[in-house]
Amino acid sequence: MTNTTFTIDICKPLKKAKGIPKEEDCPNGTMLCAIQRLVNTFEDSTSFIRAIPIAGKYTLHGGTELDPEITRLKTSSLASDREKEGFRLALHGPKYPEKNGVKQKAVIEFLCNDKAEEKIVMKNKGSVAPRKVDEDGDEEEDHSARGEMADDGHGGTVKYLDYSMVGDSEVLSLEWQTKYACEDAGKRGDDDKKSSGHWGFFTCIFLGTAAYLIFGSWLNYNRYSARGWDLVPHSETIRDIPYIFKDWMRRVVNTLQGGGSRGGYSAV
């Protein structure tokens, strides 16, 4: 049986893995790579078969472009799509093999899931789609692999749907549920940043005050053997705060009530 592992980065080309021979990895510029390995269940071993570049920019490999196509699901021509929130992303790749090969393509459906962080229970760690070998030795897709999911590392999940011929291209279909596909994701992120910034400010003030009181109390205890209220730094000032506040309020009231007077002098 063969095992196919898909690795994807929709933002930038994949980094080369250390310690892996060049011929056992996808070429530079690949953003979605499929690695096929032969699995020997009797000997509990695996061996490399091939690396398939499904999507990316390949200036040195035929000059193919990524040519992304984005479709908002709510404005799709399909009624089934308009019931969903998210978008569909199509990415293109080169022919594989390079000579007389088949065009590669990936179609990823990003679906809104604002509670994605609560659903990170996966069947497998990594996007894996095994393929079987029939009696003639030819590969065929194992449809039981459909629905395999992996954690995307940001609270979302990636589900494998299909990898088969569609027209003249071999198309990988994935479903990606994430909170970042929600139409209000940008606004929600800004609100979260503002809220966290406010809480961070008050937290700093609280921790700073607490540290000052604790250190001052410890210093008064060890240096002056203080007890009770005397432990607290500036305890006399703290005890006078209610009276200071009361006196300040009295001054404010007197100022407001005596706004029409002539600086404290009476007319003769």
Whether the pLDDT of residue 183 is over 90: the answer is no
The widest CA-to-CA distance across the chain, in whole angstroms, is 123
pLDDT, mean of residues 154-175: 93
Q: pLDDT tens, 202-242?
A: 788 778 777 877 877 777 777 777 777 677 777 777 777 78
Reduced to 3 states (helix: H, G, I; strand: E, B; else coil), residue 61 is coil
Q: Give pTM, 2 decimals.
A: 0.61
Instruction: Give the tokens for residue 78.
Output: 């399909």
**Per-residue confidence band for 153, with pLDDT thresholds at 50, 70 and 90:** confident
d(C-alpha 31, C-alpha 171), whole Å: 15
DSSP output for 103-157: EEEEEEEEEE-TTGGG----SSSSEEEEEEE-TTS-EEE-GGGTT-EEE-SSS-E
Distance linking the first and last C-alpha atoms of the chain: 113
Q: Can you list the alpha helix ranges (DSSP code H) found in the chain? A: 79-82, 185-224, 235-257
| Digit-coded pLDDT (tens) for 2-16 | 888 999 999 899 998
Alpha-carbon distance values, 20 to 17, 30, 48, 51, 197 (Å): 6, 16, 11, 12, 43
Closest CA to 157 of 133, 182, 174: 174
Residues 10/156, Cβ–Cβ less than 8 Å: no
What pLDDT score was predicted for residue 62? 55
Q: State the Cα–Cα distance between residues 87 and 93, nearest whole angstrom.
A: 20
The two three-digit tokens of residue 65, written as one number: 């472009």
More confident position, 4 or 116: 4
**pLDDT at 198 > cutoff 70:** no
